[in-house]
Structures are given as C-alpha cells and as structure tokens.
Amino acid sequence: MNSPQLQRGVFLFLLAAVTAAFFWILAPFSGAVLWGVALAILFTPLYKRLLREMPKRRNLAALATLTICLVIVIIPLTMVTASLVQEVSLVAQKIRSGEINFVRYLQQIAAALPQWLLNLLDRFGLGNIEALLAKLSQGAAQGTQLIATQAVNIGQNTFEFLVSFAVMLYLLYFLLRDGTELSKSVREALPLARPHTHYLLNKFTTVIRATIKGNVAVAAVQGALGGLAFWFLDVQGALLWAVLMAFLSLLPAVGAALIWLPVALYFLATGEIWQGVFLIVFGVVVIGLVDNILRPLLVGKDTQMPDYIVLLSTIGGMALFGINGFVIGPVIAALFLAAWDLFSSSNEEQDEPPT
C-alpha cells in the first residue's frame, strides 16, 4: 500500500492542491501581484546598477530603486488617474445637459457630405441618415455613460485601491532585493529541461519588459501628443480623449487614429479647414511616426510578434482580465509561441537520422 508510486502520486496531488490554494488566496490581489512582478522585472537592471555603486547594501539599493519607481511612474500615473475621473464625470454631465450633443455633430457632418457620397450610402442601405445618426449617438452616449460609471466605481473603491497599492509596493521591494534568488529557485523547481526552463523564463521577462517599455511607453507618448493637439484645438474633454488614444495605441493597425481622424474629418466637414488639416498632418507625421521611431528602440526586434497575434491577444486579454489584460494577453501569447517552438524543435531533433 505504501509503494513509491503511490507515495509520489499522493505527493503530486498535495503539491497541486496547495499550489491551487495559494493562487486562490492571492486572487484578490492578482493585479497588485502582476504589477509588482512587472515593475520588478522592468527596474531590476536599475537595481543592479545601484547595487554596483553601493555593494553589500541590498536594502538601500532596493529602497532607492523603489523611490525612483514611485517618482517617475507611480505618482504621475496616480495623478493622471485622479484627473481622468474628474474629466469623465464632467464630460458625462455635459452630455446629459446637452452641451455635448453627438447628434448635432453628426448632423453637421452629414449636411456637408457631397451628393455622390449620399447616393453611395443609399446603395448600401445607409441612406437614412437620421436613423443612422440616432443609433450612433445612442451608442456614443451609452459608451460615455459606461466610462463615467467605471470612473465613479474607481473613486468609490479608494480603500481597496490603497490596499492593493500598498501590497504592490511591499512586494516590489522584496522582488527587487531578492529577485535573483527567487528566479534561481523557480528555475531549479520547474520540472523541465534546463535549456527549456531558461528559454521560457527569459521569454517571459523579455515580453514583460517589451510590453511595458515598448507598448505602454509608445501608447503614453501617442496619447499625450494627441491630448496636446486636442487641447490646442480647444476640443472638449482633451484628457479623456488622450487616455482613449493611449489605450487604442496598444492595438496595432488601428491605434490612435480611431480618435483623432473622426475629429479631423468633423473639422473639415464643418468648414474649420486649418484645424482639420493641422490635426491630420499632426496625426500622421507626429503621432504616427512615434510608433516607428520609439518601438524599435525600446522593444528590440527579437521580441516582436506578428501584429495580428498582438492585436488578438491584447483584446482577448483585456476582455478576460480587464486593464491588466494588455500585459497578460501578450505574455500568454508569447509563451504559447515559445512553447510550441520548443516542441517543434525537439521533434525535429528526434526525427533526425543518426549520423
């Protein structure tokens, strides 16, 4: 009854059970753990550089790195989030009061359309401009109301946010200080061949850094540039549109143009020619080229995935995991591709005839 096979089976079941229970306990703080790990991976090179300047003072180096992270990342992001909550509430109030009227804007665009385009819309069954405008305005109003509701929920869950924030900072400090030992323990504990373990873990850390340094940084820059252009043109809710452009910039092939291009077309249709031309030129030349210039510098060619994989994994990740999904989705996709690449390469090695 106490055979080695039975003992190992019971032990593996116990190992799986306690591991699942541990992750279940961490589930309420999954976002804090995710961002603690992500920021630790991102700022570990800085920690090691500070540690070389102050050898054998790991606590001080980790504390200095944590302070730098707070100053350049967390505090500005918190301030932007607080301003965004106020901006969304203000825009939602203006929509309810009629100060912002999407129907009027769309009617102005429809009135400026040439007759040949109206005939083309009739041919495709879109000739009923009034009905189309009503549907579009209703969808826009519902979307804005949803954003406003989420913003209010964020404001109401301040205590939960502060607890998660404290957990993230606490975890980040120890991951910076003890990250090397933890990484070594994980590599030794995984039941995989040593080259496969190194490859998968390196892929995980590389994609995390690429997603934050590349995708998030590029999205932030594009959103900031778009927001500045909207502020210069006196577009209402410039901060809200800037954040939306930043989120859409995470998606390849579409990006921030989904926001600034309709606004530019509205300017052209309503006779504000120089505003429309300025926004189109600024969007194509400045906002559009940011991706081509910054992403290769921040990401590197070895971490690139096909655009359609990035698009699908980002959208799917955000649908399943919310705001954290734009990091989780690409990481899962990258590990999926890496695991299948290892599997195919191992099969090729086994199929090679002996020489």
Give per-residue pLDDT as tens, 186-225: 777 777 777 777 777 877 887 787 777 777 778 888 888 8
Q: Pick from 133, 164, 186: which residue ends a domain? A: 186
Q: How many helices (H) and strands (E) does the chain have?
A: 16, 0
Concatenated DSSP letters for 12-69? Answer: HHHHHHHHHHHHHHHGGGHHHHHHHHHHHHHHHHHHHHHHHHSTT-HHHHHHHHHHHH
Tokens, residue 141 = 């109003």
33 and 181 together in one domain:
yes
State mean pLDDT over 2-11: 77
215 and 166 together in one domain:
no
Concatenated DSSP letters for 307-325? Answer: HHHHHHHHHHHHHHHGGGH
Tokens, residue 244 = 């939306």
**Interatomic CA distance for residues 271 and 267, integer angstroms:** 6
**Interatomic CA distance for residues 240 and 162, integer angstroms:** 23
Look at the chain and report how many structural domains it folds into.
2
Answer yes or no: is 297 within a domain. yes
Answer yes or no: is 209 within a domain. yes
Beta carbons within 8 Å of 342's beta carbon, 6+ residues apart = 196, 199, 200
101: DSSP letter: -
Structure-model confidence comparison of residues 176 and 156, the more confident one: 176
180 and 242 together in one domain:
no
pLDDT of residue 137: 58
**Interatomic CA distance for residues 183 and 211, integer angstroms:** 20
State mean pLDDT over 135-148: 58
Tokens, residue 269 = 């249709």
Radius of gyration for the alpha carbons in the chain, expressed in angstroms and rounded = 25
Question: Does 304 have pLDDT greater than 70?
Answer: no
State mean pLDDT over 266-280: 82
198 and 182 together in one domain:
no
Answer yes or no: is 19 within a domain. no
Tens-digit pLDDT profile for residues 87-127: 666 666 666 666 666 666 666 666 666 666 666 666 665 55
pLDDT of residue 318: 78
Confidence of residue 185 (pLDDT cuts 50, 70, 90): confident
Structure-model confidence comparison of residues 298 and 165, the more confident one: 165
**Interatomic CA distance for residues 112 and 127, integer angstroms:** 15
pLDDT of residue 313: 82
Q: What is the CA 141 to chain-centroid distance, rounded?
A: 24
**What is the residue range of 309's domain?**
194-344
Answer yes or no: is 318 within a domain. yes
35 and 173 together in one domain:
yes
Provide, rounded to the nearest whole percent, the portion of the chain with pLDDT above 70.
70
Report pTM.
0.67
Answer yes or no: is 277 within a domain. yes
Tens-digit pLDDT profile for residues 19-51: 889 888 888 888 888 888 888 888 888 888 888
39 and 99 together in one domain:
yes
Answer yes or no: is 11 within a domain. no
State mean pLDDT over 145-157: 55
